[in-house]
Structure 1
Amino acid sequence: MTTPAWDEVAAAIAAAPYPVTVLETDGGRAAHCLRELRITTTSWLGAVVGHTGGLLVDHGWLRVLGSGAGALPGILERAEPGSGILPVAYDVLGGSYVWAANPEGRPTVHYFGPDVLEWQDLGQGYAAWLHAVLAGSLDRFYETLRWPGWPDEVGAVAADQGIHTFPPPWTVEGKDLATVSRAVVPLPELVSVHQHAARQL
């Protein structure tokens, strides 16, 4: 049984200008995630969690978390209870997206970029952010972090892996990803590397 929110998400996926893979969900796992998050499928977040194991967007460059499927973790597996911060997506370079309250107390999506090593409030709620992503915003958002032939390279990377670049993208030498060394590594390890670097600088 679908809901209006899922119908909206599905329509946005179908109209996306780049490939989006919807990972199949396990009903029991999805129901557990919804209960723990205290949300329903009437919201876009609930629709993604309730109806998908996750979304692989733009050849897998962006991995939007759902209830979990195969190599992609479930949204609860990355959450810290009581933190008020909910990880909602990762990108292939180890960037992180979370849903958290902004200084005004309104929940918005925040992004930690491997090129700047700091959190940025995108100023959008979850539905507005995901709608923009599915409407094509990734092309502009990541235009300085892509290299010739990236779709095939990224498309071959598993959902629980990322691409480590050296020199890293936050250095002057690492800004042009066409000229750096690139290696496939576990995604949690890559996320940790960037966030550790941010604490050291």
Structure 2
Amino acid sequence: MTTSAWDEISAVVAAAPYPVVALDPDSERAARCLRELGITTNSWLGAVVGHTGGLLVDHGWLRVLGSGTEALPDILDRAEPASGSLPVAYDVLGGVYIWAVNPAGRPTIHYFGPDLLEWQDLEQGYADWLHAVLAGSLGRFYENLRWPGWENEVSAVAADQGIHTFPPPWSQEGQDLSTVSRAVVALPELVSFHQDTARQLNGQEP
């Protein structure tokens, strides 16, 4: 008998210290994503894809990808098979989480943030990472990228939008997000802006 990991995830969601919204799945898209990824709902990744259109975590600060909705891409939408990277989540500031094989040959979650403009290996598998996220890790992880009243501001931002800050978080002047200019922009544009900036600062073509 096969069992879905969704019951386990649901229990962690119910106990989360901040709001977590599971978006309704598209059954056809979910089946296609599971088939193309070669996984089942027995895994945490498969359960999120099979049972949700995505997860909006902590007032929508983090958007975990599932089978997709009108506002969120499905998990395969921006996958890069050649590089072996699979985007699994975005945050409201344009940060990206991918699941990729690290130099040790183990698939782990990597994060690209707008403050450091470089990829960090979080050294967690997907299930461990998502469990930590749902159990409350975001408060500490983002403690330097939040400002008073962010909850209401972020809650009003759609899942396909993000918050662009200027000066940017990677600059000396932009590190205190309570004093910067903040504007709502399309999330794909914000993600591209940060990654293009990183390439330019590293002397690479955008």
- Indicate the TM-score class for this superposition, using the shorter chain for normalisation: over 0.9
Which residue identity is paired with 2:41? Answer: T
The equivalent residue for 2:90 is: 90
**TM-score scaled to structure 2, two decimals?**
0.95
Per-residue deviation, 1:12: 0.7
Q: CA deviation at 1:152?
A: 0.5
Aligned to 2:54: 54
Report the alpha carbon displacement of residue 82 of structure 1 after superposing the two structures with TM. Answer: 2.9
| Distance apart, 1:4 and its partner CA | 3.9
In the TM superposition, residue 83 of structure 1 has moved relative to its aligned partner by: 2.3
**Stretches of structure 1 lacking an aligned partner (at least 5 in a row):** none
Using the TM superposition, give the Cα deviation of residue 36 of structure 1 relative to its aligned residue in structure 2, in angstroms. Answer: 0.8
What is the alpha-carbon distance in structure 1 between the residues aligned to residue 36 and residue 136 of structure 2?
A: 31
Q: Give the match for residue 125 of structure 2.
A: 125
1:106-145 map, 5 Å: 106-145=106-145
* Matched residues, number: 200
Structure 1: distance between partners of 2:199 and 2:29: 35
User: Which letter does structure 1 place at the counterpart of 2:26?
Assistant: D
Matches within 5 A, 1:76-87: 76-87=76-87
1:69, CA displacement in angstroms? 1.2
Is residue 2:155 matched to residue 1:174?
no
* Aligned-CA RMSD value: 0.9
Question: What do the CA deviations read for 1:107-145 (whole angstroms, capped 9, x no partner)?
Answer: 000000100000000000000000000000000000000
SS in 2 for 1:184: strand
2:44 counterpart residue number: 44
Give, in whole Å, the separation in 1 of the partners of 2:171 and 2:56. Answer: 28
Q: Which moved more, 1:77-86 or 1:5-14?
A: 77-86
Measure the CA separation in 1 of the matches of 2:3 and 2:189.
Answer: 36
Name the SS of the counterpart of 2:127 in structure 1. helix
Which letter maps to 1:109?
Answer: I
Q: Does 1:6 align with 2:6?
A: yes
Three-state SS of the structure 1 residue aligned to 2:77 is helix
Write the letter of the residue equivalent to 2:163: I
Quote the residue 2:204 is aligned against.
none
